[in-house]
Amino acid sequence: MPCYGADPSPLQDYCIADLSSDIYLNGYPCKNPDNVTADDFFYEGFINDTRQFDADGMKASGAHVDYFPAVNTLGVAMIQIQLLKGGVAAPHTHPRATEMLLLMKGKVIAGFITTDNILFYKTMTPKMLVVIPQALVHFVYNVGEGRALLYAGYNSQQPATQYMAHALFNSTPSVPDGVLTRSFRVNDSIVELIKSSLSVPLFPDIMSNTSSGSVRLK
């Protein structure tokens, strides 16, 4: 029998996430409906984005459940991505969601790699859209002359993000060096060089990398 997985369907019109609740479950409990206002359904994080660009020349603002509680139980999320000239959204995955990526400004190369290790990529210009299947490794690289602006939509309230380089070379505790040297066919000094270059945490942490969507982000 085939099996299918997705966020559960909502059982009421809305369930504004109560992020302060001490109850842990698959998602978040609902805020008291008597305390819900119109402001709960509107998000201004893309307008008031004060984040700094990270070491890869990227900054992003996430409208997923941890920052936009109104999407709780609705199975949707969105992020705004900005890339400096030459900036990159390094190879990563979203374990819980398919992604629709829309380029609004600039020129980028976007691509994903299948489980057969086939790369599909293309140079994108404004208003082009690409779909990235759930959990596949993908990247975005700004090849334009200025900043690039993109918006990504997901079919999950908390898609999660896992960057390949940091997962392998900057985990806690560390992946044993022997695993990395054998897997990448390099010596210990190369592994340690890569680890040292990734010792600075990714910034911003716009999406939880945890196995549970109920874990709070700081």
Mean residue pLDDT of the chain comes to 89
Q: Per the domain annotation, does 14 fall within a domain?
A: no
Q: What is the CA 34 to chain-centroid distance, rounded?
A: 32
94 among annotated binding-site residues: yes
pLDDT at site 212:
41
Other Cβ atoms within 10 Å of 45 Cβ, number: 17
Q: Rounded to two decimals, what is the model's pTM?
A: 0.85
pLDDT at site 103:
98
- Give the count of domains, the chain: 2
3-state helix, strand, coil in the chain (%, to 5): 15, 30, 55
138 among annotated binding-site residues: yes
Q: Which of 20, 17, 37 is nearest to 29 (CA)?
A: 17
Cα(54)–Cα(132) distance, integer angstroms? 23
Domain final residue, candidates 107, 136, 159? 159
Q: Per the domain annotation, does 206 fall within a domain?
A: no
Higher pLDDT, 212 or 158: 158
Q: Per the domain annotation, does 62 fall within a domain?
A: yes
Residue 208 has pLDDT above 90, yes or no: no
Q: 114 and 136 share a domain?
A: yes
Q: 118 and 67 share a domain?
A: yes
64 among annotated binding-site residues: no
Residue 146 has pLDDT above 60, yes or no: yes
166 among annotated binding-site residues: no
* Confidence tier at 2 by pLDDT (50, 70, 90): low
Q: 113 and 167 share a domain?
A: no
Q: 91 and 128 share a domain?
A: yes
Residue 58 has pLDDT above 50, yes or no: yes
Q: 79 and 142 share a domain?
A: yes
Residue 92 has pLDDT above 80, yes or no: yes
Domain boundaries, position 118: 51-159
Cα(11)–Cα(26) distance, integer angstroms? 15
* Confidence tier at 24 by pLDDT (50, 70, 90): confident
Q: 65 and 144 share a domain?
A: yes
Q: 116 and 184 share a domain?
A: no
Q: What are the distances in angstroms from CA 199 to CA 40, 133, 161, 195?
A: 37, 30, 18, 6
Q: 122 and 75 share a domain?
A: yes
Question: Considering only 54-58, 98-102, 200-204, which range has the smallest mean pLDDT?
Answer: 200-204
Q: 128 and 170 share a domain?
A: no
If 0-12 CB within 10 Å is exposed, 13-18 middle and 19+ buried, where does residue 185 land? Answer: exposed
Q: 104 and 80 share a domain?
A: yes
